[in-house]
């Protein structure tokens, strides 16, 4: 073999921070503070404060590989921890602020966090678990409301006071590109949370992958608003990506209500905003009642669960906003596919373009995919054959943290089983039919809950719809649609009308057997429909389904 004569250049996160500081030190990072005021500083400030933070962490006794927990909204302090913890040789472990105390304690203990950084506005939640997390030696607080005394064991510090006393001289403690950088637990939509442990190399490659033009194509001229929390799959990598390209970053802090987001997008002229469908559904309804100018947006990035086609259409038709649908998983750092139109889509009429955009899209370079049947045989990319999606690539986990060798999520030939059932078109566009566990298995055949939900949410009086399986003597399972109606329609819309609306859109045997009308669909900690809770409510007789006449085949 003739070896190439190229430099050995480890892909470590300090390279991205150094690059951002060298080229874009004047560019801004803005945070909407809890009191509604805007905090602003530059990438140059970020750089200097990260150096101080690294000294602080070493001063607190951080050893190589130690996990540093963060319990915070999207803000500049959290951004500093994204760089500071891994560049001081530790691992940034983002904790989901919406978990129940038991789950939170479980995750902190599983990760063995030694230092916990806490947003003062979230103190009550941490205080609830404080006596159950023995590994935590230090609590470091920021944004503490005036006069609030923390009730925490161990050593409690003030973030700003520690930074003020620390030196700005620091040599990054990064020895190897394969060193761990970050730890993120799946939100546990299905089963117990499991940890994805990212490396410097995987996250640098993910950042480069995400910025490809055929992915998000971020550039210096973008103004990026991550609504997706920093604890949900690393805010989809946006803090790192924005630093690499010098994009202006706008952090919403705790202000996630539709009205606040609309105002922020308008005032900051945001070009790329990212969040789950629930967030954009809320924003759309807000903008219909109280219009604002959000025309600065070039890509409304949406992922985490399926974006209903009707909402993609509504954003484009009513607001002129381009939706960029993406699919990912915590285990994929998280970006896997994006649904950007290709050249052969350009001349399609608008409705067909929306059909394409409602798919989850093609894999970006760095993510390989295949679909397989139950026996593990590869299936064709023909747009109709359904199979389980498996992926591999440099930013996909090869095992779960502290569960090495025990998970069945990995195939013997080195692919990761996503648990998603999909079809893939010849041009590589993937469509999620369902999560394996959410499919409705009716008489041995599959009904896609995702597809039914998408159609139902296209009905003008339906605000939200989630479809779950209902036990059935004859067919084993039949679909039950749990629906939130718009307030003005609550007395009028009948089950028959909804099935009549669905009838031209799906096979007849897919029509829900029953509907349950509720005030709100329960959501998981990251804003997805919580079907686990719906199934429990159904089992406990709390849903009160209304049967549809002759719906079953
Ligand atoms: P959790 O597994 O805890 O829900 P993740 O955010 O990692 O947390 O979830 C990944 C899963 O979310 C995927 O396997 C897929 O089922 C679903 N998902 C993500 N993006 C999309 C999308 N655009 N459309 C449909 N489902 C999606």
Confidence at residue 139, expressed as pLDDT on a 0 to 100 scale: 98
Confidence at residue 492, expressed as pLDDT on a 0 to 100 scale: 83
Distance between Cα 236 and ligand 1 center (Å): 12
Whether the CB of 390 sits within 6 Å of ligand 1: no
Distance between Cα 276 and ligand 1 center (Å): 10
Confidence at residue 515, expressed as pLDDT on a 0 to 100 scale: 96
Task: Enumerate the domain spans of the chain.
Answer: 8-27+40-202, 438-547
Q: Whose CA is nearest to atom 5 of ligand 1?
A: 329
Distance between Cα 71 and ligand 1 center (Å): 22
Whether the CB of 329 sits within 6 Å of ligand 1: yes
Confidence at residue 490, expressed as pLDDT on a 0 to 100 scale: 87
Residue 176, token pair as written in the block: 């190897």
- DSSP states of 72-102: --BSHHHHHHHHHHHHTT-EEEEPPTTS-HH
3-state secondary structure of 216: coil
3-state secondary structure of 195: strand
pTM more than 0.85: yes
Burial 58-88 (b: 16+ CB within 10 A, else e): bebebeeebbbbbbbbbbbbbbbbbbbbbbb
Whether the CB of 305 sits within 6 Å of ligand 1: yes
Query: What are 326-354's pLDDT values in tens digits?
Result: 999 999 999 999 999 999 999 999 999 99
Burial class (CB in 10 A: 0-12, 13-18, 19+), 316: middle
What is the spatial distance between Cα 116 and Cα 130, in angstroms, rounded to a whole number?
A: 10
Q: Are 219 and 239 in contact (CB under 8 A)?
A: no
3-state secondary structure of 545: coil
Decide if 331 is catalytic.
yes
Element (DSSP H or E) covering residue 507: none
Whether the CB of 527 sits within 6 Å of ligand 1: no
Q: Are 278 and 251 in contact (CB under 8 A)?
A: no
Of 190, 220, 385, 441, the catalytic one is 441
What is the spatial distance between Cα 296 and Cα 274, in angstroms, rounded to a whole number?
A: 14
What is the spatial distance between Cα 72 and Cα 91, in angstroms, rounded to a whole number?
A: 16
Confidence at residue 345, expressed as pLDDT on a 0 to 100 scale: 97
Residue 245, token pair as written in the block: 């390209």
Burial class (CB in 10 A: 0-12, 13-18, 19+), 224: buried
331: left (phi over 0), alpha (psi -120 to 50) or beta: alpha
Decide if 441 is catalytic.
yes
Strand order, beta sheet including 299-302? 38-42, 28-32, 248-251, 223-226, 272-275, 299-302, 323-328, 335-339, 362-363
What is the spatial distance between Cα 250 and Cα 284, in angstroms, rounded to a whole number?
A: 20
Burial 475-486 (b: 16+ CB within 10 A, else e): bebbbbbbbbbe
What is the spatial distance between Cα 173 and Cα 18, in angstroms, rounded to a whole number?
A: 14
What is the CATH class of 8-27+40-202?
alpha beta
What is the spatial distance between Cα 86 and Cα 203, in angstroms, rounded to a whole number?
A: 11
Whether the CB of 99 sits within 6 Å of ligand 1: no
Q: Name the residue among 359, 292, 348, 288 with its Cα closest to residue 323.
A: 359
CATH architecture of 438-547: 2-Layer Sandwich (3.30)
Task: Kindly state the DSSP code that residue 279 receives in the 8-state scheme.
Answer: H
Q: Are 318 and 350 in contact (CB under 8 A)?
A: no
What is the spatial distance between Cα 491 and Cα 337, in angstroms, rounded to a whole number?
A: 41
Q: How far is CA 317 from the centre of its chain?
A: 26
Q: Are 440 and 447 in contact (CB under 8 A)?
A: yes
Residue 100, token pair as written in the block: 């129940």
Confidence at residue 553, expressed as pLDDT on a 0 to 100 scale: 43
Which residues of the chain are under the pLDDT cut of 50?
Answer: 551-553
Q: Whose CA is nearest to atom 13 of ligand 1?
A: 329
What is the spatial distance between Cα 158 and Cα 165, in angstroms, rounded to a whole number?
A: 11
Q: Do the bridges between strand 38-42 and strand 28-32 make them parallel or antiparallel, or are there none, so unpaired?
A: antiparallel
Query: Hey, what long-range contacts does 278-285 have (CB within 8 A, 24 or more apart)?
Result: 278/523, 278/527, 278/528, 279/227, 279/527, 280/307, 280/311, 280/315, 280/323, 281/311, 281/463, 281/464, 282/257, 282/258, 283/258, 284/311, 284/314, 284/315, 284/318, 284/319, 285/258, 285/463
Count the residues in the chain.
Answer: 553
Place of tokens 């990995």: 410
Beta bridge partners of 237: none
Of 70, 94, 121, 186, the catalytic one is 186
What is the spatial distance between Cα 143 and Cα 122, in angstroms, rounded to a whole number?
A: 9
Distance between Cα 455 and ligand 1 center (Å): 19
Distance between Cα 229 and ligand 1 center (Å): 15
Confidence at residue 181, expressed as pLDDT on a 0 to 100 scale: 98
């Amino acid at each position: 073999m003739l070896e190439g004569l190229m430099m050995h250049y480890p892909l470590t996160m300090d390279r991205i921070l150094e690059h951002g500081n060298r080229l874009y030190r004047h560019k801004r990072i803005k945070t909407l503070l809890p009191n509604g005021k805007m905090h602003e500083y530059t990438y140059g400030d970020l750089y200097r404060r990260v150096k101080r933070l690294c000294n602080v962490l070493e001063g607190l006794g951080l050893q190589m590989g130690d996990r540093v927990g963060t319990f915070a909204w999207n803000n500049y302090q959290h951004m500093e921890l994204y760089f500071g913890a891994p560049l001081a040789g530790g691992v940034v472990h983002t904790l989901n602020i919406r978990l129940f105390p038991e789950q939170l304690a479980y995750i902190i203990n599983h990760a063995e966090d030694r230092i916990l950084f806490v947003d003062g506005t979230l103190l009550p939640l941490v205080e609830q678990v404080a006596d159950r997390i023995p590994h935590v030696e230090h609590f470091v607080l920021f944004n503490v409301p005036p006069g609030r005394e923390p009730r925490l064991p161990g050593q409690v510090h003030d973030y700003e006071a520690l930074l003020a006393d620390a030196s700005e001289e620091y040599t990054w403690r990064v020895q190897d590109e394969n060193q761990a950088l970050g730890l993120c637990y799946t939100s546990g939509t299905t089963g117990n949370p499991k940890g994805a442990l990212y490396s410097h190399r995987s996250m640098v490659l993910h950042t480069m992958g995400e910025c490809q033009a055929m992915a998000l194509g971020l550039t210096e001229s973008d103004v990026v608003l991550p609504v997706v929390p920093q604890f949900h799959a690393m805010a989809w990598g946006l803090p790192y990506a924005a630093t690499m390209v010098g994009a202006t970053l706008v952090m919403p802090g705790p202000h996630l209500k539709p009205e606040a987001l609309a105002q922020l997008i308008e005032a900051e002229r945001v070009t790329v905003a990212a969040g789950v469908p629930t967030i954009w559904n809320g924003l759309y309804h807000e903008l219909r009642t109280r219009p604002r100018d959000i025309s600065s947006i070039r890509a409304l990035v949406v992922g985490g669960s399926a974006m209903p086609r009707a909402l993609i259409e509504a954003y484009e038709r009513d607001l002129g906003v381009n939706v960029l649908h993406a699919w990912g998983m915590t285990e994929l750092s998280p970006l896997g596919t994006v649904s950007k139109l290709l050249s052969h889509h350009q001349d399609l009429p608008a409705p067909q373009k929306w059909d394409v955009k409602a798919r989850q899209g093609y894999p970006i370079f760095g993510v390989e995919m295949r679909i397989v049947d139950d026996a593990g045989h590869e299936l064709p990319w023909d747009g109709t054959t359904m199979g389980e999606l498996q992926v591999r690539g440099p930013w996909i986990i090869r095992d779960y943290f502290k569960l090495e060798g025990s998970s069945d999520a990995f195939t013997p030939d080195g692919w990761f089983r996503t648990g998603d059932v999909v079809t893939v078109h010849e041009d590589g566009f993937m469509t999620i039919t369902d999560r394996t566990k959410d499919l409705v298995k009716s008489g041995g055949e599959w009904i896609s809950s995702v597809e039914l939900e998408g159609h139902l949410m296209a009905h003008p009086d339906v605000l939200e719809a989630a479809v779950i399986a209902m036990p059935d003597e004859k067919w084993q399972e039949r679909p039950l649609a749990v629906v939130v109606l718009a307030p003005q329609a609550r007395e009028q819309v009948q089950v028959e009308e909804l099935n009549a609306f669905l009838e031209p859109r799906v096979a007849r045997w897919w029509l829900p057997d029953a509907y349950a009308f509720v005030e709100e669909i329960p959501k998981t900690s990251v804003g997805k429909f919580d079907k686990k809770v719906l199934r429990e409510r159904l089992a406990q007789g709390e849903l009160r389904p209304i049967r549809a006449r002759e719906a079953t085949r």
